[in-house]
Each structure stands twice: as C-alpha cells, then as structure tokens.
C-alpha cells in the first residue's frame, strides 16, 4: 500500500496570529497516531502573481488512505478544523497517494 499525503496550501485572514495556528497544528498532529509525518513552510521566494495570495503549505503523510480517513474523522481534527476554517481566507486541499521518484537520502 502506498503512503498517502494531505496537502493544504493556505492564505490566512488579515490579523491572524499564525504562530498560534501553527502551535495548534503541531499539537494536533502529535496527538493523532495515524499522522506519520508533518512538515510545513512559509513561502518567502515566489512572486505574488504566482503565489496568488497563498503564504503557507502544510503536508501530512499517512501510511495509507485509511489512516487519512481516520485522521479526518478524529474528534481532535474535527474540533481543530472548525477553528482553523475561521482563520483562513482561502485554502487549496489535495489528498493523494505518494509516487516516489527519488527517495530522500
């Protein structure tokens, strides 16, 4: 079974304290065992016309699609999502099986 990724690319609303959101995300993924890994980053290089207002990317890796499904339905995720949705202006979500072309060294 292939690993499964959950990618969120986000533009936060004006005035949002992003550090608080990040702390909440880090707490969430540490509490839910089905999350295999979690990485995030803030765009600092792209031109605005290419970025389209998006500033942050969050990537979670799961062992399989069923682990992602378990995560999405987990009570902690449901609770966090209701808060998270109030601080974002727009979001792009992609869930996909991992196709590895070159594995990390």
User: Residues 67-81: pLDDT tens digits?
Assistant: 999 999 999 999 999
Q: What does the domain layout of the chain look like in residue ranges?
A: 4-97
Mean pLDDT is lowest, of 38-52, 66-80, 81-95, for: 38-52
Question: H/E element holding 25?
Answer: helix 18-31
pTM recorded for the entire structure: 0.90
Helix/strand/coil for 52: coil
Q: In this model, does residue 2 exceed pLDDT 90?
A: no
Angle between helices 75-87 and 65-73 (to 10 degrees): 70
The domain 4-97 having CATH identifier 3.30.70.100: the answer here is yes
- Let me know: does 64 contact 2? Beta carbons within 8 Å: yes
């Amino acid at each position: 079974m292939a690993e499964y990724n959950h990618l969120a690319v986000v533009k936060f609303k004006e005035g949002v304290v992003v550090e608080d959101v990040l702390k909440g995300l880090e707490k969430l993924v540490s509490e839910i065992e089905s999350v295999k890994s979690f990485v995030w980053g803030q765009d600092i290089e792209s031109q605005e016309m290419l970025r389209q207002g998006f500033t942050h990317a969050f990537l979670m890796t799961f062992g399989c699609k069923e682990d992602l499904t378990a995560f999405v339905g987990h009570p902690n995720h449901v609770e966090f999502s209701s808060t998270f949705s109030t601080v974002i202006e727009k979001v792009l979500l992609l869930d996909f099986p991992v196709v590895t072309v070159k594995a990390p060294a």
